[in-house]
């Protein structure tokens, strides 16, 4: 089996060595080159034609984001960011990076090894499977559908969205196509703790919706979006004729915390047919079984189609299970949401 050729771009000599040693210990990966800055990286890309590149956000001479903006149009390739807790990582994802890991600090040698093996290697292997043609192809139409008639009936509806690899930009695209008239939205996106609050704050500033990282007791309200914290499971519960979320420590489900399955299954139980489920791009099967339970409970379900996915994994498994009621391209999902909401009324 052919090894994945990786270029490591990291300005810290010591950490670069740690990454190279850790990645090289995996039989499926070959580190073909390293670079100290984007200019060296450019030369290494031309010389070695790597399958995947790891890239730091903060770099000498040119930061990682500017490098991505120049790189992706000329040399489309999967890039995994290795970043400390920094909101700039979302600029990197917008510029075309596939995914990111949180750069560790204060770890022992053994813990660093576990981080590389369990997180970075996994992300690199997923990145190597992405559809290059879909990088930087995210589209959205701001306010395309106009303001809809909103009634109190929307207080009793919930839209649940789940995503993984490629999901930050997919979620951004969907929310940018929605107005403040939509029912309350709950989202689980696979993401490390700390970054989910930054992600929520960014969406709050850029969309017409009120977006925040969820905390236990938050009520789900029209025009508001709650995003599961990066280190907690989130579920929806019914209180009278309203819904709220509970965020709690718990084991990984379907390989993840937060898990899309946990969210979707809770929505199926609490909301029955007064809900809509949307499963977006991502590797694996998280959310597929939960979406099926939502559909069986009477909810409308939407799956992102293969042609617009960065990784057609979660939506594919959901489709194969019969959990997806309709499958559409990413840019058509807001329109489909409004169409189904009108039908539900």
Looking at the annotation, which residues are catalytic? 164, 190, 286
Q: How would you class 88 by CB atoms within 10 Å of its CB: exposed for 0-12, middle for 13-18, buried for 19 or more?
A: middle
Task: Give how far the C-alpha of residue 80 lies from the chain's centroid of Cα atoms, to the nearest Å.
Answer: 13
d(CA 32, CA 52): 10
Are 60 and 11 contacting, i.e. CB atoms less than 8 angstroms apart? yes
Q: How far is CA 123 from CA 66, 148, 165, in A?
A: 22, 40, 9
Per DSSP, 281 falls in state: S
54 three-class SS: strand
Spatial CA neighbour of 120 closest among 81, 92, 86, 84:
81
Phi, psi (rounded to 5 degrees) for 119? -115, -60
Are 230 and 195 contacting, i.e. CB atoms less than 8 angstroms apart? yes
Spatial CA neighbour of 164 closest among 12, 39, 315:
315
Residues 6+ away with beta carbon under 8 Å from 152: none
Bridge-based pairing of strands 158-163 and 184-189 is parallel
């Amino acid at each position: 089996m052919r090894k994945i050729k990786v270029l490591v771009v990291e300005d810290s000599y010591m950490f670069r060595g740690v990454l190279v040693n850790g990645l090289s210990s995996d039989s499926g990966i070959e580190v073909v080159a390293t670079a100290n800055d984007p200019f060296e990286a450019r030369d290494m890309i031309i010389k070695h034609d790597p399958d995947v590149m790891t890239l730091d956000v903060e770099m000498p001479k040119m930061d990682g984001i500017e490098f991505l903006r120049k790189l992706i149009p000329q040399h489309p390739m999967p890039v995994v960011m290795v970043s400390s807790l920094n909101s700039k990582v979302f600029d990197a994802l917008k510029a075309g990076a596939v995914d990111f890991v949180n750069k560790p600090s204060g770890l022992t040698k053994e813990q660093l090894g576990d981080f590389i093996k369990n997180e970075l290697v996994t992300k690199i292997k997923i990145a190597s499977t992405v559809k290059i043609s879909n990088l930087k192809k995210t589209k959205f139409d701001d306010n395309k559908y106009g303001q809809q008639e909103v009634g109190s009936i929307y207080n009793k509806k919930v839209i649940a969205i789940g995503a993984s690899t490629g999901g930050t930009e997919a979620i951004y695209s969907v929310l940018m196509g929605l107005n403040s008239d939509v029912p309350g939205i709950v989202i689980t996106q696979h993401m490390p703790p700390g970054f989910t609050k930054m992600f929520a704050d960014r969406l709050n500033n850029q969309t017409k919706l009120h977006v925040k990282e969820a905390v236990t007791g938050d009520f789900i309200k029209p025009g508001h979006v709650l995003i599961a914290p990066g280190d907690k499971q989130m579920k929806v519960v019914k209180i009278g004729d309203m819904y709220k979320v509970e965020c709690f420590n718990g084991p990984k489900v379907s390989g993840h915390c937060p898990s899309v399955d946990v969210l979707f299954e809770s929505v199926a139980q609490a909301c029955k047919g007064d809900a809509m489920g949307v499963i977006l791009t991502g590797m694996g099967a998280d959310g597929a079984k939960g979406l099926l339970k939502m559909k069986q409970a009477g909810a409308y379900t939407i799956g992102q189609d293969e042609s617009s996915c960065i990784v057609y994994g979660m939506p594919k498994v959901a489709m194969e299970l019969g959990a997806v009621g309709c499958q559409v391209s990413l840019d058509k999902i807001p329109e489909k949401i409004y169409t189904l909401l009108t039908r539900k009324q």
